[in-house]
Amino acid sequence: MTQSSLAKQVVATCTTATPTVFAIALNSQVQLARLDAFFQQAPYKEPPKTPVIFLQPPSTLNRNGGNVILPQGENELRIEPHIGVVFAQDTSRINETEVEQYIRGFVPVNLFSLPNDNYYRPDITGRCRDGFCAIGQEVPKHAINNPDQIAIYISVDGQQKKQSEGNKMLRNINQLVSFLSQFMTFRYGDILLVGTDDCPIIVTKNNCVETTFEQLGSVSNTVIEQAR
């Protein structure tokens, strides 16, 4: 299956163009507190004052049950669970009280990357690998109660490794969408990953990762070695 057809399958929309997947970094209050001294040093000089956003190219899109390839020469991957906001219509310059009417639903996401805590420049080689963004089934917004409070459980090979709560995020969904929409437009079907908790789980080859999101279901992926 080509990356293009896979991308269309996982987002399950009727659009002719592949939606854009945006992701937010450094939205964890615990993570920002832990890295505060680091951000006071050069080249940062201070912690970020606005949301840190990056893109997941179409080739990174994967699905529930899909394999995630551990690149040659690498021993570990970092797993970051995200709640994804799926947009119901083009969204631009809206206030926080309007956000809900622009949301179609939510998706559970396993975001993989190579371990790296350097935020000065985008970690393209660590985050933009093929298949590193596994997107689960979309759930309509009316079926979700308070998406900012969803608990997330990560299991590796059947053993629970971590539990996190959404209320540890610095900015909630309405705040993120409203702020970003002031200078960029989200298109119908686009997905915004709203941030992950601190201290991501580390996995390696042959590990099976299952991330369970309350109200949203699970995303399961197996890490395999890259073919030589």
Compute the distance between CA of residue 177 and CA of residue 94 in angstroms, rounded to an integer: 8
More confident residue, 164 or 182: 182
What is the domain partition of the chain in residue ranges? 3-225
Give every CB contact of residue 57 below 8 A, 6+ residues apart in sequence.
Answer: 128
Q: What is the pLDDT of residues 47-89, one digit of tens each?
A: 888 888 999 999 999 999 999 999 999 999 999 999 999 999 9
Residue 27, pLDDT above cutoff 70: yes
Give every CB contact of residue 146 below 8 A, 6+ residues apart in sequence.
Answer: none
Q: Which pLDDT band, with edges at 50, 70 and 90, does 5 fall under?
A: very low
Give CB contacts under 8 A, 24+ apart, made by 34-42. 34/198, 35/117, 38/117
Compute the distance between CA of residue 223 and CA of residue 215 in angstroms, rounded to an integer: 25
Coil, strand, or helix at residue 44?
coil
Which CATH number describes the domain made up of 3-225? 3.90.850.10
Compute the distance between CA of residue 63 and CA of residue 67 in angstroms, rounded to an integer: 9
* Contact predicate 19/56, CB 8 Å: no
Average the pLDDT over 173-181 and give the result.
98
Compute the distance between CA of residue 133 and CA of residue 56 in angstroms, rounded to an integer: 7
Average the pLDDT over 183-192 and give the result.
98
Region of residue 16 (phi > 0: left; psi between -120 and 50: alpha; otherwise: beta):
alpha
Number of Cβ atoms within 10 Å of the Cβ of 224: 13
Coil, strand, or helix at residue 141?
helix
User: Do β-strands 77-87 and 191-193 pair in parallel, antiparallel, or remain unpaired?
Assistant: antiparallel
Report the chain's mean pLDDT, rounded to a whole number: 89
